[in-house]
Amino acid sequence: MREMVTCLLLEENGALPDELIDVMKDDEWVPLKGKSAFIMKWPKDTENDPVALKDVTEKLLNVKLALEGMGMEHRFSTMEIGNEDRIKMKVCLIGDKAVGKSSLIRRYVLDQFDDGYLKTMGSKVSKKALVLEHPRDGREIRVDMTVWDIMGNKGLADLLMSSYVHGAQGIIAVCDVTKKSTLEGLEGWIDDGLEVAGDVPIHILVNKADQHDEFEFSRDDVMEAINAGSGVTFTSARTGDNVEEAFHDLAMSILESHQEREIVEKMTA
Ligand SMILES: Nc1nc2c(ncn2[C@@H]2O[C@H](COP(=O)(O)OP(=O)(O)OP(=O)(O)O)[C@@H](O)[C@H]2O)c(=O)[nH]1
Ligand SMILES: [Mg+2]
């Protein structure tokens, strides 16, 4: 299966006027996160349908003329992108020691829990196969996920961080709701993780939510401490609450960003 997209890259960072943005939105241009670029996905089979092709061409021309009228430097590129039904994902868990990273993975992959604490030495990789529905067209996507677990000893972890997080498509940052210091440490973990992985989806898990009487902070405290637009989920590796859902949500975000990433790579190649 193939899919055609047109990407519009603005050569300067000048803001587009609202009227143009409105027209582009109607024509299904989607802004690329963090880039002065937009993509328009061609409807299926457009290239074989003269009427549909004319429609797309007109939309492109309209935008082009408007940009030229404004004297804005720009570049269009139309390309074919993959539309595969099987993808690999690498997900990394980060966060202070004993917050429950290994336990969350154990719950997700094996549906088991252990009260004992055996700290992770170095890192460990587990695998999980899952099937997702594509957020856009509902087609089934088989995902082979590798889940990377790292020790929570920050000093030692820093030594491994770049090789461990390299190539990750998503990050799960974990803190322990019964221990405020683990929230305070989280931003450092996230900054270091994103520095290696780039602009990838990130999800925050506030773990040990089964310990109702021992909460040391709230959802609002998390939002205040982490100034990112990340999803926040309260989980319990012990009861399994929200664990599957959290991994699933992250996988969906990765799936959504997957094509964007491919487009950006092709555009900047
Ligand atoms: N009550 C409760 N205890 C948990 C939960 N998750 C983990 N634990 C316990 O917390 C301790 C630490 O869990 P681990 O999963 O080993 O923590 P970790 O983040 O992998 O620790 P490091 O490998 O040292 O970085 C263990 O005793 C677990 O049984 C949870 O959701 N609820
Ligand atoms: Mg561990």
Domain of 96, CATH number, reads 3.40.50.300
Q: Please tell me whether residues 94 and 222 are part of one structural domain.
A: yes
> Average model confidence (pLDDT) for the chain?
90
For residue 79, the CA-to-ligand 2 centroid distance in Å is 43
For residue 136, the model assigns a pLDDT of: 67
pLDDT computed for residue 260 by the predictor: 74
Residues 144 and 220 grouped into a single domain: yes
Rounded to 5 degrees, φ, ψ at 96 are -60, 165
Q: Count of domains in the chain?
A: 2
Give the pLDDT of residue 158: 83
Does the pLDDT at position 229 exceed 80?
no
Does the residue 16 lie in any domain? yes
pLDDT in tens, 197-209: 998 999 999 999 9
Which of the listed residues 82, 111, 129 is the one where a domain comes to its end?
A: 82
Residue of 101, 110, 88 lying closest to 149 (CA atoms): 101
pLDDT of residue 11: 80
Contacts with 53 (C-beta within 8 Å, 6 or more apart), sequence order? 46, 47
Index of the ligand 1 atom closest to the CA of residue 96: 25
- Measured in angstroms, how far is the CA atom of residue 131 from the centroid of ligand 2? 26
- The count of C-alpha atoms lying within 13 angstroms of the C-alpha of 183, restricted to the half-sphere facing its C-beta, is 24
How close is the Cα of 105 to the center of ligand 1, in Å? 10
β-strand pairing of 123-133 with 74-82:
unpaired
pLDDT at position 161: 87
Same domain as 115, residue 76:
no
207 CB near ligand 1 (under 6 Å)? yes
The answer to whether position 38 is within a domain reads: yes
Residues 6+ apart with CB under 8 A from 230: 173, 190, 202, 203, 204
Do 141 and 197 fall within a single domain?
Answer: yes
In the chain, pLDDT over 90 holds for what percent of residues?
Answer: 62
**266 found inside a domain:** no
- CA 174 vs. chain centroid, Å, equals 16
Residues 155 and 60 both lie in one domain: no
Residue nearest to atom 12 of ligand 1 (CA): 98
Q: Are residues 225 and 249 in the same domain?
A: yes
State the pairing for strand pair 37-41/29-31: antiparallel
Whether residue 120 lies inside any domain: the answer is yes
Domain shared by 165 and 106, yes or no: yes
Does the pLDDT value for residue 85 go beyond 90?
A: no
Same domain, 63 and 173: no
Strands (E), 28-111: 29-31, 37-41, 74-82, 86-94
The radius of gyration of the chain's CA atoms, rounded to the nearest angstrom, is 22
Q: What is the pLDDT of residue 34?
A: 65
pLDDT at 153 over 70: yes
139 plus 57 within the same structural domain: no
Q: Are residues 53 and 99 in the same domain?
A: no
**Region 222-244 average pLDDT:** 91
Exposure class string for 209-231: b at 16+ Cβ within 10 A, else e: bbeeeeeebeeeebeebbeeebe
Domain identity same for 96 and 54:
no
Q: Identify whether residues 235 and 152 lie together within a single domain.
A: yes
Give the β-pairing of 140-150 and 86-94: parallel
CB atoms closer than 10 angstroms to residue 63: 22
Residue range(s) defining the domain that contains residue 234 = 86-257
Give a yes or no: residue 264 inside a domain: no
Single out the residue in 41, 59, 82 at which a domain terminates. Answer: 82
For residues 224 and 235, give the distance between their C-alpha atoms in angstroms, rounded to a whole number: 19
Question: Percent of the chain scored above 70 by pLDDT?
Answer: 95
Residues in the chain: 269
In a domain, 268, yes or no: no
**Which residue, chain included where needed, has tokens 């670029």?**
37
Which pLDDT value is given to residue 102? 97
> What are the backbone angles phi and psi of residue 251, rounded to the nearest 5°?
-60, -40
Domain-ending residue, one of 34, 50, 82: 82
Q: What is the model's pTM?
A: 0.81
Q: Write down the residue that tokens 């088989």 correspond to.
A: 142
Mean pLDDT across 152-158: 86
Q: Which of 28-42, 113-127, 240-254 has the lowest mean pLDDT?
A: 28-42
